[in-house]
Homo-oligomer: A and B are copies of this chain.
Amino acid sequence: MWSEKRARMALSCAVDGGEPEAARLLARVGAQGAWAKIAEGALGEPLARRAAATDVDVVERLGARVGARFVVPGEEEWVPGLDDLAHVDPIQRRGGVPFGLWLRGPGHLPALAARSVAVVGSRAATAYGSGIATDLAAELAEHGVTVVSGMAFGIDAAAHRGALAADGPTVAVVANGVDVVYPPGNTALFEAVAKEHLVASELPPGAHPTRVRFLARNRLIAALAGGTVVVEAALRSGARNTAGWALECGRPLMAVPGPVHSRASTAPHLMIRNGQATLVTCAAEVLELVTGLGEHPVSPGVTPQRATDALTEDQLAVFEATPARRRVSSGEIALAAGVPVPSCLAALHVLEGLGLVEAGDQGWRAVPHRAMLPAPA
């Protein structure tokens, strides 16, 4: 008799991730029961044939070759956030909680996921998009935030590279076995992430990617991370699919704007316009939105606050009409500012309180350098 964990490992070999009938069966009779029923043909002859062809020992040997481990729900290295996938409508979205996850690398998944952001986007990224993905990932990583992505060409690779460049944590969630380096063009990157951090997959060692597996993989990226940033993406793209999963899982969805003529920014712009995604331009804005990462508030702005910012238009007019180099009467100021004398006097007293003007025997004068100082907190 197999253990529940071994039965889950077998299920992950025979049934592609998140298959809804298998998930229902699993919920009802457990992994061993589900495996037995699938082997008996309860979900049809094809799955029974797949089950019969499954050799868990082979899969385990392939995994052992690269030092991979298999974790299942409830274990110490499981990430509770993945369980949110149970609440996503399984009919419209082929999803659900994975049977288990294969992990390769020294990273500890729950620790990595606890402070994490997914940075995803097009394979066909522009130099602009790749640069932003790298910078954003590097800055997030510098704050100790794990960059989760999919190891694809373009934005994904740029994001992993940015995190590595900052000596920060990154997790690659792939649509193939953690022992299968894909895409071959990213071999060095894949191996660096596996060696220093973590590669994760719901597919057994030896498995190769398919379109359906890429789509299913996207749900794991969205569910593992505390929020998802789409850097560049076409209207039809895997990144948009990941974005949909992030929304379904209740994670903050963010998108980076770009030049309006850039096709690669079409999906980010549409998602922002629709209100699905929040516009972000830098890591600080991302951290502000991702729950639990809020200890890095956005700096007050590109330019510091000025003491004059809080003034009404009348007060501003009065302040601007008050000379600094000589003293004048409130009547002269009112005339120059084009406001009635009572309003002018009221404004002057507010400005005096702020240290922006000062009264004297010969009248009022401005303290103009004060206007450029930061406002009192």
A19-B340, A46-B334 are known contacts. Are A313 and B212 too (CB-CB below 8 A)? yes
> Which residues of B are found within 8 Å of A368, using beta-carbon distances?
none
Q: Does A3 contact B (CB under 8 A)?
A: no
Q: Does A132 contact B (CB under 8 A)?
A: yes
B45 and A331 contacting across the interface, CB-CB below 8 Å: yes
A282 and B259 contacting across the interface, CB-CB below 8 Å: no
> Which residues of B are found within 8 Å of A216, using beta-carbon distances?
313
Tell me the residues in window 115-133 of chain A with beta carbons closer than 8 Å to chain B beta carbons: 128, 132
Q: Give the complex CA separation of A256 and B49 in angstroms.
A: 55
A343 and B257 contacting across the interface, CB-CB below 8 Å: no
A211 and B273 contacting across the interface, CB-CB below 8 Å: no
> Which residues of B are found within 8 Å of A43, using beta-carbon distances?
340-341
User: CB-CB contacts of A275-304 with B at 8 A, as 1s and 0s?
Assistant: 000111110010000000000000001110
Q: Does A375 contact B (CB under 8 A)?
A: no
Interface residues on A, range: 35 or more
A256 and B260 contacting across the interface, CB-CB below 8 Å: yes
A302-B266, A331-B46 are known contacts. Are A337 and B212 too (CB-CB below 8 A)? yes
Q: In the complex, which of the residues B45, B93, B257, B282 contacts A257, with contact meaning CB atoms closer than 8 Å?
A: B257
Q: Give the complex CA separation of A81 and B128 in angstroms.
A: 42
| Chain B: CB-nearest residue to A321 | B212
B94 and A335 contacting across the interface, CB-CB below 8 Å: no
Q: Does A66 contact B (CB under 8 A)?
A: no
A285-B273, A335-B46 are known contacts. Are A312 and B92 too (CB-CB below 8 A)? yes
Q: Give the complex CA separation of A43 and B337 in angstroms.
A: 13
Interface centre among A49, A269, A316, A332 (most CB of B within 10 A): A269
B317 and A212 contacting across the interface, CB-CB below 8 Å: yes
B257 and A260 contacting across the interface, CB-CB below 8 Å: yes
User: CB-CB contacts of A316-339 with B at 8 A, as 1s and 0s?
Assistant: 110010000000000110110111
A92-B312, A212-B317, A280-B273 are known contacts. Are A19 and B257 too (CB-CB below 8 A)? no
> Which residues of B are found within 8 Å of A334, using beta-carbon distances?
44-47
Q: In the complex, which of the residues B257, B303, B335 contacts A279, with contact meaning CB atoms closer than 8 Å?
A: B257
Q: Does A91 contact B (CB under 8 A)?
A: yes
Tell me the residues in window 176-213 of chain A with beta carbons closer than 8 Å to chain B beta carbons: 211-212
Q: Does A76 contact B (CB under 8 A)?
A: no
Tell me the residues in window 214-262 of chain A with beta carbons closer than 8 Å to chain B beta carbons: 215-216, 234-236, 256-260
B282 and A260 contacting across the interface, CB-CB below 8 Å: yes
Task: Tell me how far the C-beta of A348 lies from the nearest C-beta in chain B, rounded to whole angstroms.
Answer: 13
| Chain B: CB-nearest residue to A46 | B335
Task: Tell me how far the C-beta of A18 lies from the nearest C-beta in chain B, rounded to whole angstroms.
Answer: 9
Q: Does A314 contact B (CB under 8 A)?
A: yes
B281 and A339 contacting across the interface, CB-CB below 8 Å: no
Task: Tell me how far the C-beta of A320 lies from the nearest C-beta in chain B, rounded to whole angstroms.
Answer: 6
> Which residues of B are found within 8 Å of A235, using beta-carbon distances?
301-303
Q: In the complex, which of the residues B259, B272, B331 contacts A128, with contact meaning CB atoms closer than 8 Å?
A: B259
Query: Which 7 pairs between the two chains have the least Cβ-Cβ distance?
Result: A94-B313, A44-B341, A257-B257, A46-B335, A16-B338, A260-B281, A43-B340
List 19 A–B pairs whose Cβ atoms lie within 8 Å, in order of A's numbering. Answer: A16-B338, A19-B340, A43-B340, A44-B342, A47-B334, A47-B340, A92-B312, A92-B313, A93-B313, A94-B312, A95-B313, A128-B259, A212-B313, A212-B338, A215-B313, A259-B259, A260-B281, A269-B281, A273-B280
